[in-house]
Amino acid sequence: MRFIHIADVHLGAEPDAGSAYSEERPGELWGTLERVLEICEQERTDLLLIAGDLFHRQPLLRELKEVNYLFSELTHTQVVLIAGNHDHIRKDSHYRTFQWAENVHPLFESRMSCVEFPEFQTCVYGLSYHSREIREPLYDRCSAGGVRRYEILLAHGGDEKHIPIDRKALGKSGFDYIALGHIHKPQVLEKDRIIYAGALESIDQNDTGAHGFVSGEITDRGVRTRWVPFAQREYIHLQVQVDEEDTAGSVRKKICKLKSEYNNKNIFKITLTGVRGEDVVLDAGRMDDVGNILEIVDETRRKYDLERLKRENSGNLIGRFIGEFGEYDEGSLEEQALCEGLEALLNHKGSQI
């Protein structure tokens, strides 16, 4: 029996709304799901497991029709899904009344239930969120029922407010495979057995690194899985080292060069570090047109010609301030205090002119 395990697709989300690439993002979430379905079709995958938060919020009726159509086109694959905290089954949820295609099997009860697939000797268990939060550790007490040869648990949660999970209890639950969702970073709790697939596409800028799905096979010899990177974009945080010789233009070029080492669809957060020349203005706002840059954080320190400044300001506050500092090490707290103090004093002086 071969399966694909995805989670946290978050259809309907609009990550980073307002930035240059963000208009394409909602469509990309759908696009990546469609590409997963193409893989299911090509590989004749038996089972597609969706471990919650297929939608980012309450699904619209037309969105359910769309997603159901896509599932219904699969000629070899059975789809099992649960609702997570984001798309929890509210009283007025369209999930309650929607008529799914024959090959789609929602486990929408708030208590554990299961769906059996005699054709590949498998039973899939799961429950769905009926509220935004569930603080009870519902998975701690559950165990495989022994109904079919292969038993799978579809589960969503793992933090304090969303069904806290005890790894040990899960480990003893007797399931052959536990398909987890909710934590967006892919991670393996037990090799080939208890796995967070991670969000199919990252939907948060702090959620860096690759995203994708789990591809698995269950045979008499056990379960084998591999994780498949599949997302169109990644969030990447980069540091760019600035030195005294740099100008705004040369920093911009450094950013472009560093970015070019990555897939150009990726989304970048850049931190400028190091020392900039005394009179260099690094206008981060004017550098983001190099493309797909979410944010540029300027953490550079200004390099001052202290002797000259002291000479030019002898007798005023700036000169006295510099004089207060004796010897200090490069990068020390003293140096930082001197630079920040000077910057404030010089800016203040400038504004008075």
Q: Of 83 and 270, which CB lies nearer to Mn ion in the complex structure?
A: 83
Please give the residue whose beta carbon sits closest to Mn ion in the complex.
182
Q: How far is the CB of 253 from Mn ion (least distance, A)?
A: 41
CB of 164 to Mn ion, least distance (A): 13
When asked if residue 128 is in the footprint of Mn ion (CB under 5 A), the reply is no
Angle value at C-alpha 279, between 274 and 283, nearest 5 degrees: 70
Query: CB 183 → Mn ion: shortest distance, Å?
Result: 8
Query: How does DSSP classify residue 82?
Result: -
Helix and strand element counts for the chain (H, E): 7, 16
- Nearer to Mn ion by Cβ, of 158 and 216: the residue is 158
What dihedral angle (degrees, nearest 10) is formed by the CA atoms of 110, 175, 40, 202?
Answer: 70
- Residues 80/47, Cβ–Cβ less than 8 Å: yes
Q: Least Å distance between CB 128 and Mn ion?
A: 12
**Which residues, 6+ apart, have CB-to-CB distance to 165 below 8 Å?**
137, 139, 140, 155, 157, 158, 180
Q: Work out how close the CB of 352 gets to Mn ion at its nearest, in angstroms, rounded to a whole number.
A: 54
Torsion over CA: 87, 176, 109, 138 (sign) = negative
Query: Interface residues for Mn ion in 244-273 (CB under 5 A)?
Result: none
Binder of Mn ion out of 45, 85, 93, 128 (CB under 5 A): 85
CB-nearer residue toward Mn ion: 58 or 143: 58
Binding range to Mn ion, per CB under 5 A, among 52-60, 67-75, 107-115, 201-209: 52-60
- For residue 196, CA distances in Å to 212, 219, 259 come to 11, 21, 29
Is residue 212 classed as helix, strand or coil in its secondary structure? strand
- Provide, rounded to whole angstroms, the least separation between the CB of residue 130 and Mn ion: 14
CB of 11 to Mn ion, least distance (A): 13
Chain residues 294-353 in contact with Mn ion, contact rule CB under 5 A: none
Residue 27: both structure tokens together: 């469509």
Rounded Cα gap, residues 88 and 101, in angstroms: 20
What string marks each residue from 153 to 192 as x (binds Mn ion by CB under 5 A) or -? -----------------------------x----------
Indicate the residue among 25 and 182 with the shorter CB distance to Mn ion: 182
DSSP-based helix, strand, coil % in the chain, nearest 5 = 30, 25, 45
Q: Which of 13, 32, 53, 309 is the binder for Mn ion (CB under 5 A)?
A: 53
Write down the residue that tokens 């000629």 correspond to: 75
Contact 294, 261 (CB under 8 A): no
CB 164 within 8 A of CB 196: no
Select from 84, 126, 198, 212 the one that contacts Mn ion (CB under 5 A). 84
Instruction: Please say which residue, 51 or 142, places its beta carbon nearer to Mn ion.
Output: 51
Residue 159 tokens read as 């933090």
Which C-beta is closer to Mn ion: that of 53 or that of 246? 53
Binding residues for Mn ion, rule CB under 5 A, total: 4
Q: Which is nearer to Mn ion, 108 or 117 (CB)?
A: 108
- Which region, judged by CB under 5 A, interacts with Mn ion, from 84-92, 93-101, 207-215, 269-277? 84-92
Q: Which stretch binds Mn ion (CB under 5 A): 82-90, 117-125, 229-237, 345-353?
A: 82-90
Phi-psi region of 7 (alpha: psi -120 to 50; beta: other; left: phi over 0): beta
Q: Is 205 exposed, middle or buried (0-12, 13-18, 19+ CB in 10 A)?
A: middle
- Residues at the interface with Mn ion (CB under 5 A): 53, 84-85, 182
